[in-house]
Amino acid sequence: MSDKRIQSALISVFYKEGLADIVKILYNLDVKIYSTGGTFSYINDLNIPAEKVEDLTSYPSILGGRVKTLHPSVFGGILARRENRGDLEQLTKYNIPEIDLVIVDLYPFEETVKSADAEEEIIEKIDIGGISLIRAAAKNFNDVLVVSGREQYADILTLLKEKQGHTSIADRRLFAAKAFQTSSHYDTAIFNYFNIQASIPAFRESINMSYPLRYGENPHQKGIFYGDTDLIFEKLHGKEISYNNLLDLEAGLNLIDEFRIPTYVIIKHNNACGVASRENHFEAWKDALACDPVSAYGGVIVTNTSVDEMTASEIDKIFFEIIIAPKFTDSALKILKQKKNRIILLRNDSDRNNYGFRSLLNGVLWQQRDNSTESAGQMIPVTTRTPKPAELEDLVFANIIVKHSKSNAIVIAKNGQLCASGIGQTSRVDALKQAIEKAQSFGFDINGAVMASDAFFPFADSVEIAYKAGITAIVQPGGSVRDQESIDYCTSNGIAMVFTGIRHFKH
């Protein structure tokens, strides 16, 4: 029979907030309650009768609370198949009561890993009895309903109210699926903690939160974001964030985090089409937009500084999808909120993962983030002429941008401003020509500008083209068997070139 009436419940939870209403309705439905330790005391304080699990098992909690529920009198009552005569006969023989509902909230292992330094404290938060109760009850979903975490308290409360203690097979199966989601996520967190030292070559990721998107990269594709964007930003205004918006936000945040002085970045299709660093916030925005005002249309604006009224008034003049900043003045928000679909995000101060992964070929490609950002001191001169101080400053600036551009990538910059970039080209020469043509089309004087390349120049043709365009300093990783040809050309023509030894491919 698919419909079952709950007549007994075992409750053992870590977090008790929200539990009182559940316990009260169970009592009103004449459900017998078994409980453990702190949960029993909590229920007792509500003046609701409950039986200690120790009385059921005739064993006390032992080993400092490590063993409380691990007993046949508990697990037999959960796992017994109600339609199996042999199971029921054994329950009678050993005086084991049936348990129809199991409510568990596990020890907070992940939270403890984040907050504790002592391994002993972390290990003690690996739940044994609770996870076993969850798995047992979920396995026997034909007869038992399982609640596997406090995030399900509201769901079970609604179910109890609506069905007055009755459950269907669909109800129990759904809660069982959630239970195995809970247990798999919990075990993944424990494995990843141990694997920091063990380095077992196995991929495990588990994210419980999800955010349905309007669609994926294109309208005919389904899209879902798994994660918690609230950790990264607070949405203040605007329409739903799209799949492509999230990709652009990731690209923009990765880039803006490289800068310490006020900087504005404009992202389009995961690449920067405008970047400028200035001490004055307004000038930073104005010069970032000047890089490529055409591509900026419909872009994502990212900044590391407060957006004030004056800057907001200028930003409001163009159409853009998103702006994200660590702070907005009230007057700036009033201006920016005038467009109802415009997405305004307040960035939170939070850490992000130090690794990334993507799915391909029915598998997963994993790598550490590219955390190498070369300072002026790490740029080794290889030509007779060394960069002037202003050139060196621009080389560092350009090298940051090229690091976050799709390969093959070339960036041309001058005076802390992106002039143009050539991105996603199959040849480095094509990337350079694209950058030069684009800079000139927007009226930039690139005489005295600097150039950054994400990888080495296989031939001297790139530095020759750069010299003829007026570029006076170049940064590249080096490493080509023909490096000397590029070095010799630069030296002969007065170009300062530095090597970093670090390649920055991005695909």
Catalytic residue numbers?
Answer: 139, 269
CB proximity list for 428: less than 8 A, separation 6 or greater: 408, 410, 453, 455, 457, 458, 462
Report the C-alpha dihedral over residues 154, 156, 158, 160, rounded to 10 degrees: -150
Nearest partner of 49 among 29, 36, 33, judged by Cα: 33
Tokens of 148: 């596997």
Continuous segment of H or E residues that includes residue 225:
strand 224-226
Cα–Cα distance between 183 and 157 in angstroms, integer?
Answer: 22
Residue whose tokens read 């500084």 = 305
327 contacts 333 by C-beta, under 8 angstroms:
no
322 contacts 298 by C-beta, under 8 angstroms:
no
328 contacts 307 by C-beta, under 8 angstroms:
yes
Q: First and final CA of the chain: distance in angstroms?
A: 56
Question: Among positive and negative, which fits the CA dihedral 445, 449, 455, 459?
Answer: positive
